[in-house]
A and B are shown apart, each in its own frame.
Chain A
Amino acid sequence: MDRRNFIKLTAVTGGAVTLAGCGNPEHELIRFVPDEDLTPGLAEIKNGVCPQCSAGCGTTVRVMQGDVDTVRGGQAGVVTMSLAKKLEGNPTHPVNQGTLCPRGQAAIQIAYHPDRITQPLKRRGARGTNDFQPITWDAAIAELVGQLDMLASSKAQPALACWTRPGSSARRDLTALFLARFGAPPPTTFELFSDDVLRRANEMSFGRAQLPTFDLAASRYVISFGADFLGTWNSPVAHTAAYGRMRQGRPGIRGAFVQAEPRMSLTGASADEWVAVRPGTEGVLALGLAHVIMREKLRPADAAGRAGALVDGWARGLADYTPQAVEQKTSVKAARVERLARELADQRPSVAIIGGAALAQANGLFQALAVNALNALLGSVGTPGGLSFTPQAGAASGTGKTLRAAAADILAGDKPPVQVLLVDRVNPVYATPPGWRVKEALLKVPFVVSFASFVDDTSVLADLILPDHAFLESWTDARPESGATMALATVAGPAMKPLYQTRATPDVLLDVAKKLAAPIKPELPWTSFDQMLQATIGEEAWAVATKQGWVELKGAQGQRAEGKGQREREIAREPVFDGDAAAYPFHFLPYASQAFLDGSLAHLPWLQEMPDPISTAMWSVWVEINPQTAGRLGIGDGDVVEIASAHGSVRAPALVSPGIAPDVLAMPAGQGHETFTRYASGRGSNPVKVLGPSVEQETGALAWAATRVKITRIGEADGGLIRFGASLTEAEHTHR
């Protein structure tokens, strides 16, 4: 016996006695007869559509034979089938070009999640108690059809509502079509970190109500105002690929990059220069740069055209935005404003980007218009190295009321205007500020149907859950809004058969439409979602789409139209913060987590385990605080602190970080779910619950960066902050 085996044997003898009783674990399994004829060990590569955000990246899916736990006819067992094993970027896809972000990589865990809903559920106990009973699909569909028939028979079709997520896809078109033909209002879309403000600004400045695509690969100078475009914003994988080429892809030219934001994001950490601008004054900084460029005649003032005309005082050379005035408002030194302006104008093609917290202010629209005007002045719109708009095919589906308005309407009268509510892939109970009272509104709706794959903070309140397939088990599609230079659709068929008794939501809607007592008219001409996809894409393109996982869409709108160049009404120029500056001395900045985005991915253990790239924290949430501020308040790293606004409070460990302005406290979104699978339930706290209800007036988008807070030290570090490399105790490793 060699040394290694000796050590092993000594280790084993203790445990062996207890373990020997386990026998061979394979022996007890119940096996179901496989449906497919398979060759073990041979991999097949199929296409997929990443479901994690609205960027619409294409993936490849490695599919191989394997054993999987499943439930058949109420019996748990194992079946041998083709299984998706690994996701990577689709090498031919124009947006992600063969790469995929960690959130996309982790999407495979959606299919195999141990807490997936495996069959339709009907509420048994009180709402919110998570007491559901399994029912058959026939009974579940009959239930929904019965509710809709009741609406139809009392001519109350407009009392059907749908809350879903934004993003252009055939799936959303189908939902909108179903609602319209039933006689219901268009769906309400909701997203915590919404970009509606920028879409509106782009419509006003450039005539295109969509997110821009940046040709970073050809840029020489980039300034970004709060946009985490390499991490979580817009189309991060496309940006990252282009950014790499900008920095290292051209011999002799390394593009420069400046990031202006009050808290250092992942993107800010990659910048040559980080500018800590005061929250809500990013637009002022942009106009200060424009002022210097025009004053020095580095660019002709009329180059800004209609985008410039939207900004008051543009014609007079922005006389109010001298570097000194800008310094006073933004806290960025006048000399630095001068230098940045010269660099921007000298090192063209240059481009300015705005996103994230800079838009989530009461004056978000003003800030976006200011940056748009700066881009126009630089001659960076529709030119190489600047910004452009991905052509879009077909009209976007109409959008209904904002979620805030929808909730307010439900709460207003005695009889709620919504009798039946369909909730698809959104979790607004988690992701809205308490002042919107979304949970109360939901509880007031008599019948709530959810298509969720997991019981989360919202679906736990549903009366009926009709679980959707995992994306790998169904036809999926997305039409990217940005990140490419052509109109395209990402399309993929099922990579594997469904593991459980779930059904694709579009197919359920098509089924319901036919089973209504008075079937909807004009009839939806498809029997399944893939038929609809095929019909919308066209026969010739379909062959291409199914082969390569995406297809260029013909008949797309042109690259760029002109904006109107005038505003219909005054827009807010000054930021307005919720909370009195004396009582609440700090700006509160929740931000999209690198792992969970807005929290919709917190149920995936790989993402919980992924260390945050800036703080190295995992499985937890934290409050970022400047070292000076922390020193003044006697707060040490890891100490438990309480963040309170006029609307609520949360507790979390403090993370002392130099990458944040002294008057700002920041917290990642994503944790603090009450109900969201074994991995996320009751873990950490939710920063959204501190936010005030204020919105940007033009668009009704939540101004999530406009709340003021105070901070109180509660006590010593309690181990709540888990950093990569720190030893984990048994308790921290044990998930409920």
Chain B
Amino acid sequence: MAAVREFFGLRASAQQPIPFPHQTHVEKAMLKCTETCHESVEKGPAAGIPSVKTCMICHESIATDRPLIMKITNDYYKKNLDLPWQRVYGFTPESHVRFNHAPHIRAKVECTNCHGDVAKMTVAERKVDHSMGFCVDCHRERKASNDCLTCHF
């Protein structure tokens, strides 16, 4: 039904190359969302998805005997291939939305507010529906602008 979803301006649900355990990285490795992996959110409009090079910063020496780590090392990193991560959230071009993380970070909106509690998930799933109503409600609550051109172009 991918074509139908696309036609209605809905993103297809993501299919990831490996079941990346967010929970392990946040709870056991004590990593913060925006420190190593989604670091661009502090610098630019998009959070970014890390390349396999980022994985290897730690996994060159940590947990190298686990099957999934061996898979990303041998099947991807050593072949100069990147993990084909797919975006979980995001707007389709047809929705004409230009989203910028920066003002939301400045307004101290928590990651979980829009992305759900990813820290408790293995593979990130779309738990929050980014409908226009969702955005508008929050904007109204926080007295942010609800002018069309704030989000749409």
Chain A residues within CB distance 8 Å of chain B:
5, 8, 11-12, 15-16, 19-20, 22-24, 26-27, 29-34, 38-42, 72, 77, 79-80
Contacts and interface: CB of A to CB of B under 8 A. Distances in A.
Interface in B46-101: 46-48, 51-53, 76-77, 80-84, 86, 100
Contact of B3 (A22, A31, A77, A80): A22
B12 interface: yes
Interface stretch (B37-45, B112-120, B137-145): B37-45
Given A23-B2, A32-B82, A41-B44, A80 B15 contact: no
Contacts of B12: 24
Contact of A19 (B3, B46, B47, B76): B3
Given A5-B8, A16-B1, A27-B15, A39 B40 contact: yes
Contact of B1 (A20, A30, A77): A20
Contacts of A38: 48
Q: Which 6 A-B pairs have the closest CB atoms?
A: A19-B3, A41-B45, A31-B82, A41-B46, A40-B46, A42-B44
A32 B80 CA distance: 6
A34 B52 CA distance: 9
Contacts of A15: 3
A579 to B, nearest CB: 56
28 contacts: A5-B8, A11-B7, A12-B4, A16-B1, A24-B2, A24-B12, A24-B86, A27-B84, A27-B86, A31-B82, A32-B80, A32-B82, A33-B53, A33-B76, A33-B77, A33-B81, A33-B82, A34-B51, A34-B82, A38-B48, A39-B44, A39-B48, A40-B48, A41-B45, A41-B46, A42-B43, A72-B80, A77-B81
Contacts of B43: 39, 42
B84 A29 contact: yes
Contacts of A34: 51, 53, 82
B1 A41 contact: no
Chain B residues touching A, range: 20 to 34
Contact of A80 (B7, B51, B80): B51
Interface string B5-39: 00110001001000000000000000000000000
A16 B84 CA distance: 26
Contacts of B84: 26-27, 29-31
A30 B7 CA distance: 26
Nearest to B45: A41
Contacts of A8: 7-8
A20 B2 CA distance: 6
A40 B84 CA distance: 16
A19 B51 CA distance: 31
A615 B2 CA distance: 43
A30 B44 CA distance: 26
A314 to B, nearest CB: 63
Contacts of B45: 40-42
